[in-house]
């Protein structure tokens, strides 16, 4: 947008954050009693709900079952009122299908699927409000939901979207920054080992800057993982206090 | 809808209990489960509400857009309903699985609101024949534990109460055409009068008696259900019978009377709660799903 400075000279962004600052993350696990695992996560103004069913028997075609590991089935959808312009179809369009495949790929790297051969794990993510970083918020919410369902994972999966403006990487982009012609990169990380589950970028970036950008993304993801860890421990503490009474 | 398997012994147990006005969770035949209503949950919308009725959770978002009025009714705005049965509720709704139920629910909503008494649609008109407000009511089904119609109608009423439509100024530009200006002031808005908005009551016939707010288990034991939409004055705007079985005329009359009684009693506590929530203004703690 003409006239909108994504990064001022003093180092402040559109919403007043510094370049490496993440948005406020608030989350809650066990939101729905009927699903096996569920979580709600807010990152700034982006809100996502993730629900996990499984591991259960393969639904639909039995032939798609894998003999040595579980099949992970993801669906990404957005509420019709989530974006500023009303969306006519919640899912089924190309963007949603692509996101679903990315989520599937991300979680196949983290979930220990070889413990559940011939079964299926369903992960459904719903965006209630969209303000940038949709993929990252979905991954973070889905991680909490998978943990809530008690499905073993190698590590937390934390994701963050970073952009590159004026030679500076900006962590955790909001919607205005994403649309402002910024080269943005989405990264999903398993923080303890520093393993990258998914990296995606579709903008032009000079290859000299790539390493700085990935470094910035990994630092941001490690920040998110600390918050998620805190949420999980808090949830366990509440559950243990509740069961003791 | 998501179904549960109920054994014969369980069915008999539920039937006998209801015969003595005692349901499985201790309620009477005309009692609702614990209900929680919260408005202004999604800030991207013009009005929103979240209703939790037992384990059923529904989220409604309303967006107001300027559109062209219907050709036959040029001086009124209109409502468009869309029900999204998300896969969150049950894996059966994945992909296109939830479309059938969603279409059925939205068709009933159209019928319920298709009368001149529920909402003052004339207040939604901007300039007759050219511009009007279209309210897109989007219902998102998050968890399904029976009694969807009631939860959806209460959520729609709460969301409509919460809706703030910006005021419009029409000015004529140089070529003689009309220009629409939206007021910049976020507090300069028009509210929708929800006094006559009906609430839907679903009555399930189980054995010889009928129950209000049936859970999925009780639904599995029932023969048929009657859906009635009632306004706060006790006026019935829409009636429909759903289910596989058949009902005799006396039961329908009885159920209609009971439905009217229960529906009438729903409105005043709801409006009181909504007004109380609104009076807290900025001080209100927004809980949403984090509570």
Among candidates A31, A33, A80 on the partner chain, residue whose Cβ is nearest the Cβ of B138: A80
Residue B290 is assigned to a structural domain of this protein:
no
A40 touches chain B (CB under 8 A): yes
- pLDDT reported for residue A63: 87
Distance of alpha carbon B30 from alpha carbon B108, whole angstroms: 23
- pLDDT reported for residue A157: 95
Among candidates A26, A82, A86 on the partner chain, residue whose Cβ is nearest the Cβ of B136: A86
Q: Which residue of A has its CA nearest to B87?
A: A124
- pLDDT reported for residue B2: 56
Q: Total structural domains in chain B? A: 1
Residue B34 is assigned to a structural domain of this protein:
yes
Q: What are the structural domains of chain A?
A: 25-243 (3.30.230.70)
- pLDDT reported for residue A88: 81
Distance of alpha carbon A59 from alpha carbon A71, whole angstroms: 11
Span B282-291, average pLDDT: 79
Q: What is the CATH number of the domain that holds B112?
A: 3.30.230.70
User: A34 and B143: CB-CB below 8 Å?
Assistant: yes
Å between B290 CA and nearest CA of chain A: 6
- pLDDT reported for residue A178: 87
Q: Which residue of A has its CA nearest to B85?
A: A90
* Beta-bridge mates of residue B239: B228
Q: Would you give the DSSP letter of residue B172? A: E
Q: Judging by beta carbons within 10 Å of its beta carbon (0-12, 13-18, 19+), is residue A204 exposed, middle or buried? A: exposed
Q: Judging by beta carbons within 10 Å of its beta carbon (0-12, 13-18, 19+), is residue A103 exposed, middle or buried? A: buried
pTM (2 d.p.): 0.92
Convert the pLDDT of each residue in B149-158 to its tens digit. 999 999 999 9
Directed axis angle between helix B148-162 and helix B99-113, to 10°?
60
A60 touches chain B (CB under 8 A): no
Share the mean pLDDT of chain A.
91
A36, A54 Cβ separation under 8 angstroms: yes
Considering A140-144, B4-8, B210-214, the range whose residues carry the highest mean pLDDT is A140-144
Å between A129 CA and nearest CA of chain B: 7
User: B289 and A77: CB-CB below 8 Å?
Assistant: no
- pLDDT reported for residue B291: 73
Model confidence at A2, in pLDDT bands (50, 70, 90)? Answer: very low
Å between A202 CA and nearest CA of chain B: 27
Convert the pLDDT of each residue in B68-81 to its tens digit. 888 888 888 899 99
Structural domain for B126, as ranges: 28-279
- pLDDT reported for residue A90: 82
Span A74-82, average pLDDT: 92
User: A80 and B48: CB-CB below 8 Å?
Assistant: no
Contacts of A165 (CB under 8 A, 6+ apart): A6, A7, A177, A182
Among candidates B42, B62, B290 on the partner chain, residue whose Cβ is nearest the Cβ of A128: B42
Q: Return the percentage of chain A with pLDDT > 70, whole number.
A: 98
User: A124 and B48: CB-CB below 8 Å?
Assistant: no
- State yes or no: pLDDT of A61 exceeds 90: no
Convert the pLDDT of each residue in B14-49 to its tens digit. 999 999 989 998 888 888 999 999 999 988 899 999
Residue B13 is assigned to a structural domain of this protein:
no
Model confidence at A85, in pLDDT bands (50, 70, 90)? Answer: confident
Residue B260 is assigned to a structural domain of this protein:
yes
Model confidence at B176, in pLDDT bands (50, 70, 90)? Answer: low
Residue B12 is assigned to a structural domain of this protein:
no
- pLDDT reported for residue A3: 55
ipTM of the complex: 0.89
Task: Name the helix (H) or strand (E) containing B168.
Answer: strand B168-172
Model confidence at A10, in pLDDT bands (50, 70, 90)? Answer: confident
- pLDDT reported for residue B131: 87
- pLDDT reported for residue B103: 93
User: A42 and B84: CB-CB below 8 Å?
Assistant: no
Convert the pLDDT of each residue in B249-284 to its tens digit. 999 999 999 999 999 898 989 999 999 988 887 777
Residue B36 is assigned to a structural domain of this protein:
yes
User: B290 and A122: CB-CB below 8 Å?
Assistant: no
User: A81 and B91: CB-CB below 8 Å?
Assistant: no
Residue B16 is assigned to a structural domain of this protein:
no
Residue B274 is assigned to a structural domain of this protein:
yes
């Amino acid at each position: 947008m003409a006239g909108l400075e994504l990064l001022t000279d003093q180092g402040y962004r559109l919403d007043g954050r510094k370049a490496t600052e993440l948005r406020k993350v608030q989350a809650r696990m066990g939101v729905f009693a009927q699903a096996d695992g569920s979580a709600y996560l807010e990152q700034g103004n982006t809100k996502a709900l993730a629900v996990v069913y499984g591991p259960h028997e393969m639904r639909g075609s039995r032939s798609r079952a894998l003999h040595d590991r579980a099949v992970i089935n993801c669906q990404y959808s957005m509420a019709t009122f989530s974006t500023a312009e009303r969306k006519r179809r919640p899912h089924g369009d190309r963007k949603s299908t692509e996101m679903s495949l990315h989520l599937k790929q991300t979680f196949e790297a983290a979930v220990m699927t070889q413990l559940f051969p011939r079964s299926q794990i369903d992960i459904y993510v719903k965006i209630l409000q969209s303000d940038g970083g949709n993929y990252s918020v979905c991954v973070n919410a889905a991680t909490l939901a998978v943990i809530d369902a008690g499905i073993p994972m190698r590590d937390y999966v934390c994701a963050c979207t970073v952009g590159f403006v004026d030679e500076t990487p900006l962590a955790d982009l909001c919607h205005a920054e994403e649309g402002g012609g910024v080269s943005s990169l989405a990264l999903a990380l398993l923080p303890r080992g520093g393993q990258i589950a998914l990296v995606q970028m579709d903008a032009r970036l000079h290859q000299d800057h790539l390493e700085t950008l990935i470094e910035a993304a990994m630092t941001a993801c490690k920040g998110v993982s600390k918050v998620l860890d805190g949420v999980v421990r808090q949830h366990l503490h509440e559950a243990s206090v509740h069961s003791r009474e | 809808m998501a179904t549960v398997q109920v054994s014969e012994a369980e069915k008999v147990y539920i039937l006998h209990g209801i015969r003595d006005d005692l349901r499985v969770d201790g309620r009477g035949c005309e009692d609702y489960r614990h209900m929680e209503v919260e408005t202004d949950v999604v800030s991207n919308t013009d009005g929103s509400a979240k209703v939790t009725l037992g384990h059923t959770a529904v989220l409604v978002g309303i967006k107001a857009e300027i559109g062209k009025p219907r050709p036959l009714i040029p001086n009124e705005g209109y409502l468009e309903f869309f029900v999204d049965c998300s896969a969150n509720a049950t894996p059966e709704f994945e992909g296109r699985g939830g479309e059938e139920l969603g279409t059925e629910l939205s068709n009933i909503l159209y019928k319920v609101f298709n009368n001149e008494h529920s909402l003052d649609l004339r207040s939604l008109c901007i300039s007759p024949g050219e511009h009007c407000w279209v309210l897109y009511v989007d219902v998102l089904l998050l968890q399904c534990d029976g009694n969807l119609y009631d939860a959806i109608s209460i959520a729609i009423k709460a969301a409509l109460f919460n809706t703030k439509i910006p005021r419009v100024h029409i000015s004529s530009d140089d070529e003689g055409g009309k220009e629409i200006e939206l007021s910049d002031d976020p507090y300069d808005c028009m509210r929708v009068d929800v006094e006559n908005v009906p609430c839907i009551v679903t009555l399930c016939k189980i054995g010889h008696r009928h129950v209000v707010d049936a859970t999925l288990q009780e639904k599995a034991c029932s023969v048929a259900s009657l859906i009635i939409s009632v306004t706060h004055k006790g006026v019935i705007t829409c009636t429909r019978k759903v289910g596989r079985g058949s009902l005799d005329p006396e039961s329908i009359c009885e159920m209609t009377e009971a439905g009217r009684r229960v529906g009438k009693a729903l409105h005043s506590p709801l409006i009181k709660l909504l007004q109380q929530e609104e009076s807290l203004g900025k001080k209100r703690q927004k809980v949403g799903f984090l509570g």
